[in-house]
Amino acid sequence: MLKLVKHPDPILKQQADPYEFGLEWPSADELEDQMLDVMMAEKGIGLAANQVGLLKRVFAIKLSTGRSLCMFNPKVISTSEKTQDGDEGCLSFPDLWLQISRPLEVVAEYFDKNAQQCKIILTNIDARCFLHELDHLNGVCFTDNVGQLKLALAMKQQQQRKSNGRTKR
């Protein structure tokens, strides 16, 4: 069974390799089931394979429609020029919240668990989540997207929440 990896585990900073259908263990079907289980158990809306100790280009995502799936070998085709700042958290960085600027729309391609190529247009929170998880596959954590001062302030707030017994923002 897969388990969540937390910062500062070095696997979070490593780039994932392509997922090769039919040659990998666990199978795409099993991997999707296990990743979705971990994501739901942790009450997340996204989970990259390196967050469960696998360096494969796969992530689980729960779309705003309620549909959950894994995207294998995802890639961005295009993004909107318009961006928006928004709160982001990460299962591997419990109780840490940062304001990150991301494009409002992403056109992406990926393979589903049946090795079928898919194209999708994602907007708002779905686009934000897709890009956050894709960053993970490239060895980029959301903490890398802000300056040191902003990160230090957020970490101070994180510690205050923990010392006050609050775990949610």
The pLDDT tens digits for 24-55 are 888 999 999 999 999 999 999 999 999 999 99
Sheet holding 105-111, edge to edge: 46-48, 58-62, 68-79, 105-111, 117-123
The pLDDT tens digits for 64-85 are 999 999 999 999 999 999 999 9
What amino acid positions are annotated as catalytic residues? 133
| Buried b / exposed e along 26-56 (16+ C-beta atoms within 10 A) | eebeebbbbbbebbeeeebbbbbbbbbebeb
Residue 102 · residue 48 · CB < 8 Å: no
Dihedral sign for Cα atoms in the order 97, 99, 100, 106: positive
| pLDDT score recorded for residue 163 | 82
| pLDDT score recorded for residue 94 | 92
Q: Give the C-alpha distances (Å, rounded to integers) separating 166 from 78, 88, 160, 161.
A: 39, 17, 9, 5
| pLDDT score recorded for residue 97 | 93
pLDDT band at 148 (very low <50, low <70, confident <90, very high): confident
Residue 169 has pLDDT above 60, yes or no: no
Domains of the chain: 10-163 (3.90.45.10)
Whether pTM exceeds 0.75? yes
Residue 140 has pLDDT above 80, yes or no: yes
The pLDDT tens digits for 70-125 are 999 999 999 999 999 999 999 999 989 999 999 999 999 999 999 999 999 999 99
Residue 23 has pLDDT above 70, yes or no: yes
